[in-house]
């Protein structure tokens, strides 16, 4: 038997496959057309089912599925199935278009360009996730806790440090009293000793969790200081010390995780807290 298709490219994504199926469906033999119709009508079934179960549903033989896949250039049914699974994986809206737009620009021609593109794409993906992963109610509670605090303690190390660095800058501008923890070594405990129930803390730590940050958050929690935290897993040791915590998974490129979503989150939180404070103060003045 001659190779059915090796001159024309094998579809790499679902859209490409769909287009190819539609293009050829009239020339397809009876059973294969039957499979084609079923595949486009029940893509989820193809993604999750086994060849046997799909064959039963589509009322064909398992071998027909294999032949179908091979007709479109795949090695077997399994490799065709990957296309259907990938479709479910990449559910983020607008993501595909963005990626295509990126890879189409002239950055990719140069050596360092793909690195640049990669990080921009990772940042986009992170931001796409953040809107769904952060619950508005939790955000509101976090804002209330921090807005009610006399002093806000900022806990972050290493990779998370830039985030608290920004918040420190912004809080300063907005005239919100804050205290950074962990800038100079040794005096952290003294600083934390001043914190009390009237204050609040914001801690950031991503895996691998800096043990210092975790311990400081724990210490604050035992001192009845309400802690709001930002982390990347429900299993983060930070979560247990926190009154409110946010799970925020940053996309990565080449193993370097983005900070864009965390940054956006930090900005929003900072400004929302300042805004809330302003309102509280005004109400007090009126009364």
Partner DNA sequence: CGAGGAATAGAACATCCATTCCACAATTCC
Partner DNA sequence: GGAATTGTGGAATGGATGTTCTATTCCTCG
- Candidates 76-84, 91-99, 141-149, 203-211 — which segment interacts with DNA by CB under 7 A? 76-84
| Shortest Å, Cβ 51 to DNA | 3
Q: By CB under 8 A, is residue 119 in contact with a second copy?
A: yes
DSSP string, 116-156: HHHHHHHHHHHHHHHHHHS-HHHHHHHHHHHHT-SSEEEEE
- Using CB atoms within 10 Å of the CB of residue 69, give its burial: 0 to 12 exposed, 13 to 18 middle, 19+ buried: buried
Strands (E), 14-160: 152-156
| Shortest Å, Cβ 155 to a second copy | 15
| Shortest Å, Cβ 261 to a second copy | 8
Determine how β-strand 178-181 pairs with β-strand 152-156: parallel
Cα 226 to Cα 59, 111, 215, 222, 245: the distances in Å are 60, 48, 15, 9, 11
Among 8, 9, 52, 131, binds a second copy (CB under 8 A): 131
- Nearest alpha carbon to residue 29 among 69, 68, 61: 68
Q: By CB under 8 A, is residue 113 in contact with a second copy?
A: yes
Q: By CB under 8 A, is residue 76 in contact with a second copy?
A: no
| Shortest Å, Cβ 106 to a second copy | 6
| Shortest Å, Cβ 212 to DNA | 25
Q: By CB under 7 A, is residue 32 in contact with DNA?
A: yes
Rounded distance between C-alpha atoms, residue 265 and residue 57, angstroms: 46
Which CB sits closer to a second copy, 111 or 283? 111
Q: By CB under 7 A, is residue 56 in contact with DNA?
A: no
- Candidates 48-56, 126-134, 205-213, 216-224 — which segment interacts with DNA by CB under 7 A? 48-56
Q: 231: part of which helix (H) or strand (E)?
A: strand 227-231
Q: By CB under 8 A, is residue 280 in contact with a second copy?
A: no
């Amino acid at each position: 038997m001659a190779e059915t298709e090796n001159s024309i490219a094998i579809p790499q994504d679902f859209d490409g496959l769909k287009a190819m199926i539609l293009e050829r469906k009239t020339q397809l033999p009876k059973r294969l057309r039957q499979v084609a119709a079923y595949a486009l009508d029940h893509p989820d079934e193809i993604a999750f089912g086994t060849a046997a179960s799909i064959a039963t549903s589509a009322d064909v033989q398992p071998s027909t599925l294999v032949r179908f896949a091979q007709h479109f250039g795949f090695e077997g049914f399994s490799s065709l199935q990957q296309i259907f699974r990938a479709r479910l994986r990449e559910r983020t809206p607008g993501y595909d278009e963005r990626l295509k737009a990126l890879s189409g620009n002239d950055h990719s021609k140069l050596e360092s360009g793909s690195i640049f593109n990669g990080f921009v794409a990772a940042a986009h993906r992170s931001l796409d996730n953040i809107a769904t992963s952060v619950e508005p109610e939790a955000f509101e509670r976090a804002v209330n806790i921090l807005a009610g605090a006399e002093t806000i303690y900022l806990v972050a190390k290493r990779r998370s440090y830039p985030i608290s660095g920004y918040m420190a800058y912004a809080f300063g501008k907005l005239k919100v009293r804050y205290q950074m923890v962990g800038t100079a070594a040794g005096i952290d405990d003294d600083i934390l000793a001043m914190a009390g129930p009237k204050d609040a803390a914001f801690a950031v730590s991503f895996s691998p969790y800096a043990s210092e940050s975790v311990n400081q958050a724990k210490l604050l929690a035992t001192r009845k200081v309400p802690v709001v935290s930002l982390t990347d897993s429900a299993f983060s040791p930070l979560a247990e010390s926190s009154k409110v915590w946010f799970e925020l998974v940053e996309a990565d490129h080449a193993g370097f995780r983005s900070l864009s979503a965390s940054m956006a989150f930090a900005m929003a939180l900072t400004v929302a807290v300042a805004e809330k404070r302003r309102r509280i103060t005004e109400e007090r003045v009126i009364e």
